Amino acid sequence: MARNHFLHACFYTVFGLASHMAFAALQANTAGLTEPGDEWLNYGRDYTEQRYSPLETIDTNNVDKLGLAWSFTFPTNRVMESTPLVHKGVMYVTTSWSRVFAFNAKTGEALWEFNPEVPKEHLINSCCGPVNRGVALWTQNGETSVFVGSFDGRLIALNAETGEQRWSIRTTPENSHYTITGAPRVVDGKIIIGNGGAELGARGYVSAYSAENGELVWRFYTVPGDPAQAQESPALEKALSTWGGKWWTVGGGGGTVWDAMAYDPELDLLYIGTGNGSPWNRDIRSPGGGDNLYLSSIVALRPSSGEYVWHYQVTPKDSWDYTATQHLILAELNIDGQQLPVIMQAPKNGFFYVLDRRDGKLLSADAYAQVNWASHIDLETGRPVENPVADYNKTGGSLIWPAPFGAHNWQPMSYSQQTGLVYIPAQHAAGYYSKDEKFSFTKHRWNTGVDLWEMRSHADPVIAKATMDAIVRGYLTAWNPVTKEKEWEVEHPEASNGGVLSTQGGLVFQGTGRGEFRAYHADNGKQLWSFGTDSSVLASPMTYAIDGEQYVAVSQGAGGAIVLAVGRPRPQNSNNPNRLLVFKLDGTQTLPPVLASKAAVRNTYEPLNSASRELIAQGDKLYERNCATCHGGSANGSGVIPDLRMMSTKTQSEFVGIVLGGSKRHSGMVGFYETMDFAQTEAVHAYINHRAAVSLEEEEYSWWDQIRYWFWYYSARLGDAFPWLANALRDANMSP
Ligand code: CA
């Protein structure tokens, strides 16, 4: 061990010297991105992506005086995942549909807006809504540009002063499943952009474009293509032997680079996180086995050329949607008496990884959440030791912790240099995985190879609610990456809460799914302040200072994968207003009122429940296959997009035209005439009306339902505490 570290130290020194000259040339441009001071210049603040600010005017003693300085209500009402950037007194923030807004960061005055006019029908390719997480900034020849990836696959450069478009290029193939939701990054005048789409079918890649004119500089594919063709890089030639079957025809392999990146200017390495396999089910994707490089991996690339340098595969043989696209953080940690440059990640699979970022050597990997797919990560081999329950193709179906939503998803975590802790917006949920026996690749649908109908919540609403309440929850987890232990934890009643910011004021900021924005003591998790919002706060907060005054900003808006899939109550009377909230000490502003609620207008329909059982059962399966990923499992609407149980009489009469003909194409609901016929549409219609009738009955539980609720609640709690028991009950058909 000691010898290894010595070699690392030598390597680091020699490499550091060799790259010093190139580094000096870069310094002028990258200075801001390594030391932003009062500003916030990159998605994760600076190149380390720590989301830790040295600002300390707002601290543990005065945070209770935090109040609203200004706010802005956006003309959108979908999920907000954007982190604002602040440079030279101007704030740049994005909304759903990839719209960009610029504000005077001190006064809140709106300066300009850019709308890339994303075709709404591209929504059919989304896993989780028309999300955007933010912009990148780069100054060249005295001119600052703002870069945004549009949902339909364009990379666009804007004049930072006026919002006028400088250039726009396509970075994904026309008419493909790819989407862009992540923020671009900039290294030495090159804009780095990835994309998503592995649920529907995609081959992952990341590209670099010239900031000046949008010319492609390099592209790195994360998985090999058809082996009959020459592969694009030596790294892919090497990866070929880890694949089997015809992955390029059944979903493209996956491994999309849809979110996390980080850059080390000293090592001149760009780190990317790659996504899940496409399809999820490894026996369908790569029959005959293999690790399937470079799925679910952290990969280090040379940012000038896109050349592969090293990789660490977080989840070999991924079969569970366990992406390694979650937030990557660079830090220097003192491990066994040595100061080491590390990269850290809490990917979906539930283990917290610390790697030496010079060569990808695994230093530690420990469970930060409940996990039953693997017993541990073997530090000798660097590989997980899978439990038999994980192989659902063999077991015939298993309850596996974590669920596809992950023990941690896109919500950014934060590393505090002050406490040495990593604050993880973690979550707790299990998923029932079983093989989709009838799998065939279908364009514009989820192609997972997992039976999502089996995975959906129980058809009985009482049992569904009881199990959801019992096993799905969220955490803010303070993880010590050196001692590999949890130091403290705050529990949230739901999964999917906000991203995290930590500051030198000793504070940790996080929003909640229920609709609160909170500050905690970074040492012990004590809640010190809270602000009631009128929608979920899922995006990450950021902080900046102007004229010596510190501000904390966050955007609000509900939605995203877990919310769309399982639905959940949002703050009362909420029409999901998308807002930007900016706080300062002694701020006195209040939120403007919400405009008339659409939900109230929609809920006028008296459902009929006269369809036959057979028709409803047929509609149930068709619904889960075609509609559930957007409109919610079991037709439990999230309130983010129309809840089908609340269709108006007008919508009822236009149902066939909407579903088959695509008459609401302009708002994102395309026609399904290619894959469904009239009779099937009628079955789905009958099923939705049946669900509407059942849901109305849910409002008041009879005494019998209450007994059933608590019975299933405690059964699920027991199964949650002992996953083997939950699986044994499942096998015996004795559980929800
Ligand atoms: Ca995925």
Between strands 205-210 and 579-585, the pairing is unpaired
CA of 1 to the centre of ligand 1 (A): 36
Please report where in the chains the tokens 């803010």 appear, as a residue: 476
Q: What is the pLDDT of residue 29?
A: 53
Residues 422, 413 contacting (CB under 8 angstroms): yes
CA of 196 to the centre of ligand 1 (A): 8
Amino acid at residue number 25: A
Lowest mean pLDDT among 216-225, 483-492, 566-575: 566-575
Q: What is the pLDDT of residue 30?
A: 56
Q: What is the pLDDT of residue 579?
A: 95
For residue 77, pLDDT over 50 is answered with: yes
For residue 343, pLDDT over 90 is answered with: yes
CA of 323 to the centre of ligand 1 (A): 6
Please report where in the chains the tokens 């912790």 appear, as a residue: 401
For residue 25, pLDDT over 70 is answered with: no
CA of 406 to the centre of ligand 1 (A): 9
**Encoded tokens for 33:** 């991105």
What is the set of domains in the chain, with CATH numbers?
613-694 (1.10.760.10)
Cα torsion for 333, 338, 340, 344, to the nearest 10°? Answer: -40
Whole-angstrom distance, CA of residue 155 vs CA of residue 146: 11
* pLDDT tens readout for residues 169-222: 999 998 888 999 999 999 999 999 999 999 999 999 999 999 999 999 999 999
**CA 377 to the chain's CA centroid:** 24
**426, β-bridge pairs:** 475
For residue 605, pLDDT over 80 is answered with: no
**Encoded tokens for 162:** 């006026």
Q: What is the pLDDT of residue 69?
A: 98
- Identify which of 324, 187, 194, 327 has the alpha carbon closest to the alpha carbon of residue 268: 187
Band of residue 284 on the pLDDT scale cut at 50, 70, 90: very high
**For the chain, percent of residues with pLDDT exceeding 70:** 90
Band of residue 23 on the pLDDT scale cut at 50, 70, 90: very low
For residue 114, pLDDT over 70 is answered with: yes
* pLDDT tens readout for residues 219-229: 999 999 999 99
Determine phi and psi for 729, rounding to 5 degrees: -65, -40
CA of 77 to the centre of ligand 1 (A): 23
For residue 120, pLDDT over 70 is answered with: yes
In the predicted model, what is the mean pLDDT of residues 226-237?
A: 97
Cα torsion for 478, 481, 483, 484, to the nearest 10°? Answer: 80
Mean pLDDT of the chain: 89
Whole-angstrom distance, CA of residue 100 vs CA of residue 158: 10
Residue 377's Cβ-side half-sphere holds a number of Cα atoms within 13 Å equal to: 23
Band of residue 31 on the pLDDT scale cut at 50, 70, 90: low
For residue 108, pLDDT over 80 is answered with: yes
Band of residue 6 on the pLDDT scale cut at 50, 70, 90: very low
Let me know if 259 is exposed, middle or buried by CB neighbors in 10 A (0-12, 13-18, 19+). buried
- Identify which of 66, 33, 35, 43 has the alpha carbon closest to the alpha carbon of residue 550: 66
Lowest mean pLDDT among 66-80, 98-112, 257-271, 440-454: 440-454
CA of 276 to the centre of ligand 1 (A): 6
Q: What is the pLDDT of residue 81?
A: 97
Band of residue 103 on the pLDDT scale cut at 50, 70, 90: very high
In the predicted model, what is the mean pLDDT of residues 121-134?
A: 88
Q: What is the pLDDT of residue 20?
A: 44
Q: What is the pLDDT of residue 611?
A: 67
In the predicted model, what is the mean pLDDT of residues 553-571?
A: 68
Residues 59, 42 contacting (CB under 8 angstroms): no
Q: Which residues are catalytic, by number?
A: 321
CA of 379 to the centre of ligand 1 (A): 27
CA of 165 to the centre of ligand 1 (A): 32
- Identify which of 260, 261, 274, 417 has the alpha carbon closest to the alpha carbon of residue 332: 417
CA of 132 to the centre of ligand 1 (A): 16
Band of residue 696 on the pLDDT scale cut at 50, 70, 90: low
Whole-angstrom distance, CA of residue 581 vs CA of residue 72: 7
CA of 679 to the centre of ligand 1 (A): 32
Q: What is the pLDDT of residue 729?
A: 85
In the predicted model, what is the mean pLDDT of residues 375-403?
A: 96
CA of 112 to the centre of ligand 1 (A): 34
Count other C-beta atoms under 10 Å from residue 481's C-beta: 23
